[in-house]
Chain A
């Protein structure tokens, strides 16, 4: 599904990703863990197409297509979703309008018709309810006045509505209390399916207690320095990143 091959990327001439190779197949859940500054967020932005990153080498194909040649909206239409570490507040744009425009954009790009208004409302209500979000909040401007936990739940509502093929979740667990973490984890687990994949980027083990990964990778200084099963996360939690970072140096 996603093939990352020797990916290198720089910001302002400084190389952040120094040759990442990773293969994700449908149905799999991968976790990338690493210390601050290891390139975790850069990887998620490069995959979703944000400006400001120069690709200096390597390739990324998604469902057989050259992902790096597409703009962010095309990637989303193809099935990529980025869960933001810091969801953006957009005053004046209501969540409802945002979700409707996003969903219909993605549907049109796939050659489908717009979702009729009644079906859209039902979809939103169902998804909001399952993520314990008051639908009234969706009448407000996107993320404006939301708490940290509410913003992350809103990310999960968007993900559920757009139903992507590959969800890249950038520190979705940061800043969550235990109740919010459970709700968000439920949102992630609800996406698990044989034809979908999830790439979780996280600093801590605790999200992995709720969303069990098939593979865990350690990212340090722009490279994946170790890959393994879910037990690798436990080793990291116990021993810390230092040993891996030193190994990468």
Chain B
């Protein structure tokens, strides 16, 4: 790990704030070490490349490059506040005026790091993140237009960014936040921590689009804690990069909370996409529902690992999990692994996992009506993932997600 230490000392030269806590977090990271495929939770994401070629921290003054990437991505304007984070740091010039909504406070300075740093990549994020974006939503405030937070990687080859966003919803607050990860064609690494603390009776809906450039590594963590009777829903689409990992850790600390995790990953040749979820039910009467649909084309690999932990006292927990994977080619790879750890005796936990190919009967039915095979396959794949990408909180953004899936199938074209 000496390469990382050396690089960290170099990176630290440009970071003048919180040097003590950065050093402490880095020691923590070094002690834990980079996750390896031998770690059960990281079986399907190989970070070996990072050890061989240790990335340096990317410069954050890249508004111009980021602006071009933003234009290219053509994300819809959802009407609410829009924050653009460039190479890990909030870019004022590209962001909209912070927000006009009463009760929403953007705080960039004194953010206590909310997560414990038992996770190596979170510790590294803490050691190297710059100006965390902290959004506080006051009790009982309903933010009616979605907040957009775009992470743009305008990075060079072998450069890293460690964005950090904290959302804090007071009691009874409501908000919808859309995240997008976009970037150029360089071999960059983005290691974000998105954190949400949801108060009693509060309701947070989030959407995450992972649309990184074709050589990128994305290791994002979405960390959520839910107080009593709160509701949380996240929809994710992994559809870019070379290696993308969507890791969600939800801890339910208050009774009667509802959690919905949904998403889809689509991987083609040379791509690896890994969805890892961990749902910790620590108190009674929690409800959680997970639905994931993954698609792997020729030479692509998708994985889903879903852990549900029901603590001894968490009676009347109702947890369900469904993951289905579709292989479009013999050389495609899909892994799916539900993991249920249940220590309570009066709970409902259901899970289902399947891996299969396109339904030949359905394909012939469509073709027999005059629909060519390329179009027919696209219809079936879009329908397969639509189960997770529709009826969410932001119709215009869901349209974008579905259009992205359609263009993914189109690019695939006649390559059957």
Contact = CB atoms under 8 A, between A and B. Distances in A.
B379 interface: yes
Contact of A90 (B366, B368, B370, B375): B366
Interface stretch (A47-55, A201-209, A214-222, A224-232): A47-55
Contact of B369 (A50, A76, A91): A76
Contacts of A73: 367-368, 370-373, 376
Contacts of A109: 370
A162 B369 CA distance: 8
Interface in B381-396: 382-384, 386-387
Q: Sort chain A's interface into a size bin.
A: 20 to 34
A171 to B, nearest CB: 15
B294 to A, nearest CB: 15
Contacts of B370: 73, 76-77, 102-103, 105-106, 109, 162
Contact of B375 (A89, A91, A101, A142): A101
Q: Sort chain B's interface into a size bin.
A: 20 to 34
A89 B361 CA distance: 9
Interface in B346-363: 359-362
A240 interface: no
B362 A105 contact: no
Contacts of B368: 48-50, 72-73, 75-76, 81-82, 84
Of A81, A87, A93, which is in contact with the most chain B CB atoms at under 10 Å from its CB? Answer: A93
Contacts, number: 80
Contacts of A142: 365
Interface in B234-285: none
A141 B390 CA distance: 14
Given A48-B368, A72-B367, A90 B373 contact: no
Of B359, B362, B372, B384, which is in contact with the most chain A CB atoms at under 10 Å from its CB? Answer: B372
Interface string B381-416: 011101100000000000000000000000000000
A92 B380 CA distance: 8
B113 interface: no
Given A73-B372, A90-B366, A105-B372, 4 more contacts: A71-B373, A84-B368, A90-B383, A97-B379
9 contacts: A72-B364, A73-B376, A76-B368, A76-B370, A90-B366, A92-B382, A92-B383, A98-B379, A106-B370
Interface of B: 359-362, 364-373, 375-376, 379-380, 382-384, 386-387
